[in-house]
Amino acid sequence: MNTPLHVRFLRTMYRLVVDNFLAIAAVAAAAGAVQRTSPEAALALVRAVRPVHWLLALLGAAAAAKLRRLGRPKDVYLVEYGCFRPKAWFRAPFSTCLEHAHLMPYLVDEESVSFAIRLLERSGLGEETCVPEAYHYMPPDRSLKASRDETELVIFSAVDDVFARTTIKPEEIDVLIVNCSIFTPTPVFADMVVNRYKLRADVQNVNLSGMGCSAGLVSVGLAKNLLQVAPPGTNVLIVSTEILSSQYYVGTERAMLLPNCLFRMGAAAMILSNSLERARFKLTRAVRTVTAARDADYRCVFQEEDDKGNTGIRLSKDLATTAGHALKSNIAAFAPLVLPASEQLLVALSFLKRKLLSGRAKVRLYRPDFRTVFEHICIHAGGRGVIDEVQAGLGLSDEDVEASRMTLHRFGNTSSSSVLYELAYIEAKGMMKKGDRVWMISFGAGFDCNSVAWECLKPAADADGPWVDCIHRYPVQLPEIAKDISDS
């Protein structure tokens, strides 16, 4: 429904006045002072100040500004990012999934097959999502070698892509952070990257595991903390992925079949730095919220064995609701850091109204409009239900969540790398402009929620990324399907 013109005008005037209240008050005070002072008196006051005093005042202001800059943490920038783009032969259309399931009757019964196909049809995934080569075998190859082969394919492709997009060389990398939740071999992925790209012997490397789909933004938060205290010119390489080959669930527990249906192969790499040179985005905020103290949240995404001894990831039917609750906690910490005064005032007034009318009337708290702060929002493509929950909770339009839905449709749930595929979608569509602000939201096992905000300094020069061969077909129209617990 279109907002009436006079309502939009009043909202604009309200935001203009409240967000610039101090400036307006200062101008009004200065105007009043000028009116009370004659030009002759003002000129005499200026002449009365000796030149040496003007010089000391300027030097003092410059020194104060310098000290303020020195005391402030260094700015952190995203230099470039790259994503793994799977070849067409890795595709897993629904018909192939159905055929393979029927050819493995001793692993999955007919009822489970029907459930999985219904889930796929409702999931928001398209026919071009891809799974590793190991999944194309019958039965799937869950060996260590298959997982290593998948790891080398997706990680090295993403890292090759990010180095090809920037002038930064492997020998300029000072810190390496690699995250993958389930599969953690020895040597770890970080050592695998060091070996492949012959990084320096003094490179600081960290390997994160067990954090689920939020690990990519957790890595950004870690890199931010390191870069703010590191010497100028420090570069951090972050690699985010989830390796599927060894994680295929062969049982019949429905809650544990969900990852087989939703997760797809993918990886992303990004280079962060505390130097503005060559940067494309500036990191403005990073907030992480952990709700693992609640038992239900802790067991929401849980790796365990079923009653027949088959290992898999159990996804709770309340996953979307849990994500919504975690997002509320995250917003409580994130919103005051990014929202303008006009939105924060409305939130405060609604809190006050609820307090005053407690017990006499039910007062809904004001839902802040984050679209006044961000031009683009990237919600982790965890599933149709998760995106629906966040869209409803934040009051977003279909256009606001287009990048998330289209990423889920084309690439599936690629875990911690999904928000980078979404950023690539926005840039491939030519929607990113200099000065645009981006909000990335991710959820992960634990349960936790992460918010990271960026400001665009320089949009991509072209759309040569994971969407290069299909962006002209997007956005696509998704079928209208009633919400189902399996959507989560």
Assessment of whether the complete model's pTM goes beyond 0.85: yes
Instruction: Provide the residue ranges of all domains of the chain, joining segments of one domain with +.
Output: 76-338+373-469
76-338+373-469 in CATH: which number?
3.40.47.10
User: Residue-wise pLDDT tens for the chain (488 aa)?
Assistant: 466 776 666 767 666 766 666 666 666 665 665 566 666 666 776 667 677 766 777 877 777 766 666 667 889 999 999 999 999 999 999 888 888 877 776 666 777 778 888 888 888 999 999 999 999 988 889 999 999 999 999 999 999 999 999 999 999 999 999 999 999 999 999 999 999 999 999 999 999 999 999 999 999 999 999 999 999 999 999 999 999 999 888 888 888 888 888 899 999 999 999 999 999 999 999 999 999 999 999 999 999 999 989 899 998 888 888 998 999 999 999 999 999 988 888 888 888 887 777 766 677 788 899 999 999 999 999 989 899 999 999 999 999 999 999 999 999 999 999 999 999 999 999 999 999 999 999 999 989 999 999 999 999 877 778 999 999 999 999 887 654 433 33
Helices 5-19 and 341-356 pack at an angle, to 10 degrees, of: 100
Check residue 81 and report its DSSP letter: E
